Amino acid sequence: MHALGRRSGPLEALRTDLGEAVVPWVVDVDDGPALRAAFAALPGVDVLVLNAGLCATAALGAPESVAVWQAVLRTNLDGVFHGLEAALPHLPRGGRVIAVASGLGKLGRAGYGAYCAAKHGVLGLVRAAALEWAPRGITVNAVCPGWVDTPMARGDLARAAEQAHRPVAMLRAEAEAGIPLGRFVTAEEVADLIGFLASPAAAMITGEAYNLSGGAFTS
């Protein structure tokens, strides 16, 4: 398994967790030419998971809104585009592509305009690519998690708590109260859904955006 990311530390940690079968590549999805060069050096791409993401917030009209917009769109939407373009020449018939979008690709949230726009864009791109690549037997799908218990989500809660001058635990409890099944999704549950979409059982599923939110959103 080849793992691409912009920082060597997390890649090496992944290799420690999963073993020597993981081959790390340091490359940034923001850099289209570098990403294409990296894919050209790979032996092949049977399954592509597009999981790079950046969560930064700014209300419309805030001093930092333009910088946040550019940074988030560059990674969360342009990065998916660059990944698709780089992988296409190397995907065989029957290849699988799974993009990690978000519930905010279907919803809105105050202060998250850039993130919402990027994730909505990912879903549009997934649906277009699914139709374009169907003649080659390549499926393209998205997963749309709600709150997932990850360092990025915990950091998001911490920033929100700091801005609101409230305890993090209180904000997390409120977030969990909005989830009908009563808890955050685990990273393993997201991985399981991705694994299903990459499996032979999902051969006739394409252009879909699967919710994984404990019932927090259903559309």
Instruction: With cut-offs at 50, 70 and 90, classify the pLDDT of residue 77.
Output: very high
Q: How confident is the model at residue 194 (pLDDT cuts 50, 70, 90)?
A: very high
For residues 112-119, give the mean pLDDT: 97
Burial of 167: CB neighbours in 10 Å, binned 0-12, 13-18, 19+: exposed
Q: What are phi and psi of 4, to 5 degrees?
A: -110, 135
Q: What is the mean pLDDT of residues 21-26?
A: 86
Residues 6+ apart with CB under 8 A from 160: 171
Looking at residue 77, the DSSP 8-state letter turns out to be I
DSSP, collapsed to helix, strand or coil, labels residue 33 as helix
Q: What are phi and psi of 87, to 5 degrees?
A: -80, -30
Q: Which of 46-60, 152-166, 175-189, 197-211 has the lowest mean pLDDT?
A: 152-166
Enumerate the active-site residues: 115
CATH number of 46-148+185-212: 3.40.50.720
The confidence score (pLDDT) of residue 139 equals 98
Q: Which burial class, exposed, middle or buried, applies to 66 when counting CB atoms under 10 A from its CB (0-12, 13-18, 19+)?
A: exposed
Where exactly are the structural domains of the chain?
46-148+185-212
Reported as a pLDDT band with limits 50, 70 and 90, residue 213 is very high
- State the number of CA atoms in the 13 A half-sphere of 71 facing the CB: 11
7 DSSP 8-state letter: -
d(CA 102, CA 122): 9
Residues 6+ apart with CB under 8 A from 190: 100, 143, 145, 148, 212
pLDDT of residue 22: 83
Higher pLDDT, 204 or 24: 204
pLDDT of residue 86: 95
Instruction: Count the neighbouring beta carbons within 10 Å of the beta carbon of residue 104.
Output: 20
The answer to whether 208 and 174 have CB atoms below 8 angstroms apart is no
Q: What is the DSSP string of 137-183?
A: T-EEEEEEESSB-SHHHHHHHHHHHHHHT--HHHHHHHHHHTSTTSS
**pLDDT at residue 121 in the model:** 98
Which residue in the block uniquely carries the two structure tokens 């940074």? 71
Closest CA to 193 of 23, 77, 51: 51
- pLDDT reading at 190 higher than 90: yes
Question: In whole angstroms, what is the distance from residue 147 CA to residue 213 CA?
Answer: 7
